[in-house]
Amino acid sequence: MLHFDDPVTKFPKITQARAKKIQTLSIYTVHDLLYHFPFRYEDYSIFKTIGEIEANETVTLQGIVKKVTRSRAFRRKMTITEAYIDDHTGTIKAVWFNVFGPLRFLAKNKYVQISGKVSLDKKNKLYFQHPNFELINKHQFESQKKGAGSQLAATGALIPIYPETRGITSYWLRAMVKKILLLVQFVDPIPHEILKTQKLPPIKKALKTIHFPSSLEEAMTAKRRFAFEKLFMMQFKALSIKQQWEKNKAVKIPFSKTTITSFVKSLPFALTNAQRKVAWQIIKDIEKEQPMNRLLEGDVGSGKTVVAAMAALSVITRKHQVALLAPTEVLALQHFKEFLSLFNSKKHSVALLTSAHSKINGVGSARKTLISKLRNGSIDIVIGTHALLQQSVSFKDLALVIVDEQHRFGVKQRAYLQQQTIIIDDGQDKKIPHFLTMTATPIPRTLSLAIFGNLELSIIDEYPKGRKKISTKVISSQGREQIYTFIKKEICSGRQAFIIYPLVSETSKMSEVKAATEEHRTLQEKIFPEFKSGLLHGKMKPKEKEEIMRQFKNGTYDLLVATSVVEVGIDVPNATVMVIEGAERFGLAQLHQFRGRVGRSAYQSYCFLFTSDNTPLTTRRLRVMEQTNNGFKIAEADLKLRGPGQFMGTLQSGLPDIAMESLTDVKLIQTSRTEAQRLLAFDPHLKKFPSLKKNIKKMEMTTHWE
Ligand code: ADP
Ligand code: MG
């Protein structure tokens, strides 16, 4: 008997050497191995006789081996095995070009079952090239018993194809899984009741059918169950974090109508409806004693800063402190300037603390002074980078933390700020700050719900009026010259351009630096010799990068060539052209981020997506960019076309494939959330469900939580 938690080596057929190899696939325990799901199935369920088969069919047949020959192809150090198989309706040849273990059992007069695609040889004769085969017994042959091969499950059915690694083939995995399924004790992490209401198969059935289904439909049902399992656990975890969070207390910030109204009136523009809506959600949240934990999503330029400022203003009006955390110097500085211009510096004191700057209300201040003023409460708002997270920084009365571009901070860093508790009155009633995190990565709502299940969500899905649409065009190889001419014209009239290169593929021998340098040289010498272009790549030191960006900003360079690994985190309103090479290699969300670098001024801006790939899927994807500038629409489209994978990078998540695929399944996400909510109310510590508890713990170690 095997248990889920046993190391795979507990199963005698798996040697230490193999166990080491499958670790590359993150497989350590029996559970891991059984949860290593096939990503597709080969359909070998159609049986035919040799007399019936035709070229290009994928079939299974049974027969007797009449002859086996083994020879060596000298030049390629390869062993060729040929076998002639007869089933009374005809004879057919099968050929294998390399040695694989089981081939040594192939011998004259053995009974075999063969699955594969029928090919035509040079003489127009049918044969099998490298088919799967299994030995069967005489009885199976004579009774023409059809179905999955008994031992290895490589023929005669839907055959699972797994993610493989060196030394670990699907062939081997199938054999191991098949045997282990007979020996293992199944423990279902999902409560029986829930499976029943959701009409999902129990673990034993689901594991058997996800590996060895008798129909694709059966496989899908099993897949759905495991997707549910994962989502359910994620939701349970998220909701229990949320529940814990809500047990904390925060300072109530009563809405100050006059202050906010006059602030909004003082703005040089009218708020968009979306801004109003989300500002109101935040204001309502911080009125409560329960700490807010809200994610504000809004595309670049959608106007998140003003919303954050309204929240900050509410807090400082009530004489509490606010901290705003930005991921880079540049962004911190930008926010600082904006806040200074938004707030009356006579009434409020706004500070900046980064590794390079220490300022109060625009005037330089000693670091020590600034820190002591944070502690005694005479600074109302501090804006900073990681420098704010030092031990020496503490607050008198921190009631709101705003984190910009939240994904760029680690979970630990954010937790650190959360723990900046403020002690009120008798020193016992601990309060934590309200939390507002912001992101410019538009993530479809369902995806957010699945990943940030513990956060409340506010979305700005509308742009300030009067913004010019960035004119976007997909350009195939033929269109290149014309675009270069266009860019020259733009530069001649004083504008600047970005050219982004995709990260050079890892298989290519050329290093990123070398490739980027070469591209840059070609552009400089051959295409734009009359202009000056700068180069930015991932291997540069931060100081070097900053210097190049500064020079682009001040106009020393007309063009900036950058590899995609570089975050071009600068605001250069004068740049009006964004060229992206190899555009098909990027997710739409990412292309959208790049495009957001232009269109920041009154000038009309352009984005050109260069691609040499004109397959229908790529064309359809890239056309979405031409059709809309709305980041949420793009994200939704991308989610449909490419799945959630590309959002994950930015979200720092280690989700397994099955959960990823299911992230497009709105209904499944919602039901998993509802069920998790119910169970959380009934048994918050999972006392009655130890197996679920264990599985969630295990998942925590591989998934990053917001
Ligand atoms: P982001 O969401 O990317 O942080 P910002 O808050 O920096 O966007 O806003 C981008 C620009 O739009 C800023 O210059 C800001 O002053 C301006 N802005 C914000 N809201 C509006 C609005 N409702 N109407 C016009 N301009 C606005
Ligand atoms: Mg911003």
pLDDT class of 564 with cuts at 50, 70, 90? confident
SS3 47: strand
Token pair 């985190």: residue: 569
Q: Which CATH superfamily is domain 471-628 in?
A: P-loop containing nucleotide triphosphate hydrolases (3.40.50.300)
* 539 CA to centre of ligand 2 in angstroms: 26
Instruction: Please work out, in degrees rounded to the nearest 5, the angle formed at the alpha carbon of residue 512 by the alpha carbons of 506 and 516.
Output: 135
Name the closest-CA residue to atom 19, ligand 1: 303
| Token pair recorded at residue 378 | 């005479």
- Give the position, in ligand 1's atom list, of the atom nearest the Cα of 304: 2
**Which residues on neighbouring strands pair with residue 119, listed in sequence order?**
127
* 395 CA to centre of ligand 2 in angstroms: 25
**Domain 45-156 CATH (choose: 2.40.50.140, 1.10.569.10, 3.40.190.10, 3.40.1160.10):** 2.40.50.140
Report the C-alpha gap between 523 and 561 in whole angstroms: 9
- Give the position, in ligand 1's atom list, of the atom nearest the Cα of 303: 6
- Give the position, in ligand 1's atom list, of the atom nearest the Cα of 338: 16
Per-residue pLDDT of 372-396, as tens digits, reads 999 999 999 999 988 888 778 888 9
* 575 CA to centre of ligand 2 in angstroms: 18
User: Looking at residue 636, what is its pLDDT?
Assistant: 82
| Residue ranges of domains in the chain | 1-39+159-185, 45-156, 257-287+302-439, 471-628
Give, in words, the CATH class of 257-287+302-439.
alpha beta
Tell me which residues have their CB closer than 6 angstroms to ligand 1. 269, 271-272, 275, 298, 300-306, 440, 464
Name the closest-CA residue to atom 9, ligand 1: 303
Q: Are 404 and 335 a contacting pair, CB within 8 Å?
A: yes
- Give the position, in ligand 1's atom list, of the atom nearest the Cα of 306: 6
Most confident of 143-147, 502-506, 633-637, 690-694: 690-694
* 438 CA to centre of ligand 2 in angstroms: 8
pLDDT class of 428 with cuts at 50, 70, 90? low
Residue 300: nearest ligand to its CA?
A: 1
> Is 90 exceeded by the pLDDT of residue 498?
yes
Per-residue pLDDT of 124-182, as tens digits, reads 999 999 898 888 888 877 776 665 555 556 788 888 999 888 889 898 999 899 999 99
Name the closest-CA residue to atom 17, ligand 1: 303
pLDDT class of 510 with cuts at 50, 70, 90? low
pLDDT class of 651 with cuts at 50, 70, 90? very low
Q: Are 80 and 101 a contacting pair, CB within 8 Å?
A: no
Residue 597: nearest ligand to its CA?
A: 1
User: Looking at residue 415, what is its pLDDT?
Assistant: 60
> Is 60 exceeded by the pLDDT of residue 506?
no
Q: What is the mean pLDDT of residues 197-225?
A: 93
Where is average pLDDT lowest: 87-96, 142-151, 509-518?
Answer: 142-151
pLDDT class of 601 with cuts at 50, 70, 90? confident
Most confident of 259-273, 569-583, 692-706: 259-273
* 306 CA to centre of ligand 1 in angstroms: 7
* 571 CA to centre of ligand 1 in angstroms: 13
> Is 60 exceeded by the pLDDT of residue 702?
yes
Percent over 70 (pLDDT), the chain: 88
Name the closest-CA residue to atom 25, ligand 1: 464
Same fold, 257-287+302-439 and 471-628: yes
Pocket probe for ligand 1: among 269, 336, 342, the residue whose CB has the most ligand atoms within 8 Å is 269
User: Looking at residue 150, what is its pLDDT?
Assistant: 54
- Give the position, in ligand 1's atom list, of the atom nearest the Cα of 307: 6
| Token pair recorded at residue 431 | 């309060």
Name the closest-CA residue to atom 18, ligand 1: 303
Query: Which residues touch 302 (CB under 8 Å, ≥6 apart)?
Result: 274, 440, 460, 461, 462, 463, 464, 631
Per-residue pLDDT of 256-314, as tens digits, reads 999 999 999 999 999 999 999 999 999 999 999 999 999 999 887 889 999 999 999 99
SS3 472: strand
Residue 324: nearest ligand to its CA?
A: 2
User: Looking at residue 98, what is its pLDDT?
Assistant: 74
* 296 CA to centre of ligand 1 in angstroms: 14
Q: What is the identity of the amino acid at 229?
A: E
Residue 338: nearest ligand to its CA?
A: 1
Per-residue pLDDT of 98-116, as tens digits, reads 766 677 788 899 999 999 9
* 434 CA to centre of ligand 2 in angstroms: 19
Token pair 């991921």: residue: 327
> Is 70 exceeded by the pLDDT of residue 479?
yes
